[in-house]
Structure 1
């Protein structure tokens, strides 16, 4: 009797299957409140040279189908084996409604949402990443000629025993004799490397200690963000920003222009908040300079003697990217369509990295890339 065993990877509960199942549980967020006077959507100014994203892309809200399809694409590219990806993509092809990458990042030379680095998904060093041969061995040892391996490993009784390989009989089975047979010292305990801030009594440095849900890239509060801070440049390369020209008084609903100068900011990274690009990308340097964009907002001040409430939406808010900027300062014109009511408005501009956070600085006593002016509307 002949028994034939047939294995169908598509029916097994693999890591890929579990990742795809998690994608199917994702839900798109509800739309958020938007600034009142800003032109909606994404548009260009300055003769088409500058791209403005209203409300940091918050109005570009992804659908549940788009979120799930984009997640499945990421699984195919980063989790599934080649054969699994082919099989699952064929099965999934009829269900894809075009919600893949969206339109964010296309002008930036990147995808709509940043996938973890190879290090985040690869096997530990010494396993998948090592050359053929013994895991963790230098390439030179793993690639010794066959006859040399036989000489080193052939002395099962004589060679390994003298080298402390008694339990394994000298490592003869491994063909590496002396190296395999030597006793290895116990690994040093990880506690010998103190964490950053050791001795300062920090509350935590990981979401592992948080009871809050994981942040998912959308504009949701009471979540814990696990995205690493990323790369911080040298003090001389940290971004700065200045509003160089602004009116002091304007009439209601009268358009006006703010001139904003940035230095050490490459304005080429933007992931729309409404598409799940909020707090998901670590800071990335290019030639030592931060890649990101900058924001401009105008909000009314109910009082000039007290800090304003944080939650009301502003009258105006745009995120600016134009694939320009660098070590030398330059200036961008921000066109405000007008402010709707009389009173004192605070108009501010500040730099952001790819995930909208104010860029980090080498020193604690540096001033962030931020500026603000007061404008009276009559």
Structure 2
């Protein structure tokens, strides 16, 4: 079922039961943001209705938060403070929210063009228009489980830009998850127990329910930027293989060192049936115990999602002794 909506978000007015609220003289001295209206005037599929409504409410909430921050930081930061610290981030948040509305609709209908680039930019009311927008209360997300957040709009971190940099907030939606019988699995089927230093060896890796045809280069800004996409119910992606030395076998290793060996496999093969790929390791120079691992990734390098929480993700590890 679909219904035609004409919904707007972003009006900088205060609606109260008695009519339209008027800003006081004191409030008028404080600048407020002036954002274009976001209007959804297309048929919204029933499946997308809740997500569209939530993002429209979020657009109004973003205006409220920006105005509150302006009021709380009057006189701070110099001439460019409001533009750099408030209007700039607000533009990014509005663009993301409008894009999420378009994406939600596009899952079951043609993708609308809501002019996100144009409508994301807000200006400043130097004379201080009424700063608060009142919207209906939204249903609590996360099935009332008390989730911490489900959006980067509540984060103080900079937006993730597709490059391999931490302390960022990733706003990319998770995307599509397949049925349990179609979820990806992976197994290292053959590996040597021991090799000499610099001796080449082979790891054999088997994957199932993984179409190995999608790999966005992380070094070129393709990291965490694409939602998971299914083809005939199967994840499109690739798998990684890496070997790292273990300083101890009694505690978890440090996460940041670069592995001694790493390769991504996107060979335009794979599918619903299990097949096996031979990974050639050119040799490991350092003596010690190595953890050699393989794990599946979607197009943007995340381990594919599973239908249930008690399914084992598509990853495996073995120990290889280098002497």
**TM > 0.5:** yes
Alignment of 1:82-231 (within 5 A): 119=106, 122-123=113-114, 189=136, 191=138, 193-195=139-141, 197-231=142-176
**TM-score of the superposed pair, with normalisation by structure 1:** 0.51
After superposition, give the CA deviation of every residue in 1:53-111 in whole Å (9 maximum; x if it has no partner): xxxxxxxxxxxxxxxxxxxxxxxxxxxxxxxxxxxxxxxxxxxxxxxxxxxxxxxxxxx
Answer with 1 or 2: which has the greater Rg: 1
Any stretches of 5+ residues in structure 2 without a counterpart? 1-35, 37-101, 116-134
Deviation at 1:189, TM superposition (A): 4.7
- Distance in 2 of aligned mates of 1:198 and 1:211: 25
Find the counterpart in structure 1 of residue 196 from structure 2: 251
Any idea what SS the aligned residue of 2:164 has?
coil
- Distance in 2 of aligned mates of 1:297 and 1:290: 21
- Distance in 2 of aligned mates of 1:324 and 1:258: 18
Instruction: State which of 349, 361, 375 in structure 1 corresponds to 2:294.
Output: 349
Q: For the structure 1 residues 249 and 274, does the alpha-carbon distance in structure 2 shift closer, same or farther, using more than 3 Å as the test?
A: same
- Distance in 2 of aligned mates of 1:333 and 1:203: 43
Query: Is structure 2 residue 262 aligned with structure 1 residue 314?
Result: no
Any stretches of 5+ residues in structure 1 without a counterpart? 1-14, 16-115, 125-187
Any idea what SS the aligned residue of 2:207 has?
strand
Alignment of 1:76-87 (within 5 A): none
Instruction: State which of 168, 171, 179 in structure 2 corresponds to 1:234.
Output: 179
Deviation at 1:123, TM superposition (A): 2.7
- Distance in 2 of aligned mates of 1:190 and 1:324: 48
Instruction: State which of 361, 366, 376 in structure 1 corresponds to 2:306.
Output: 361
After superposition, give the CA deviation of every residue in 1:210-250 in whole Å (9 maximum; x if it has no partner): 00000000001100000000000000000000000000000
- Distance in 2 of aligned mates of 1:123 and 1:319: 37
- Distance in 1 of aligned mates of 2:209 and 2:307: 13
Alignment: residue pair count:
199
Find the counterpart in structure 2 of residue 328 from structure 1: 273
Alignment of 1:268-307 (within 5 A): 268-307=213-252
Deviation at 1:200, TM superposition (A): 1.2
Deviation at 1:121, TM superposition (A): 6.2
- Distance in 1 of aligned mates of 2:320 and 2:145: 43
Moved over 3 A (4+): 116-121
After superposition, give the CA deviation of every residue in 1:105-140 in whole Å (9 maximum; x if it has no partner): xxxxxxxxxxx969576139xxxxxxxxxxxxxxxx
Find the counterpart in structure 2 of residue 182 from structure 1: none
Find the counterpart in structure 1 of residue 88 from structure 2: none
Deviation at 1:198, TM superposition (A): 3.1
Which structure is higher in strand share?
Answer: 2
After superposition, give the CA deviation of every residue in 1:238-286 in whole Å (9 maximum; x if it has no partner): 0000000000000000000000000000000000011000000000000
- Distance in 2 of aligned mates of 1:194 and 1:232: 23
Q: For the structure 1 residues 325 and 190, does the alpha-carbon distance in structure 2 shift closer, same or farther, using more than 3 Å as the test?
A: farther
Q: What is the CA RMSD across the aligned residues, in angstroms?
A: 2.0
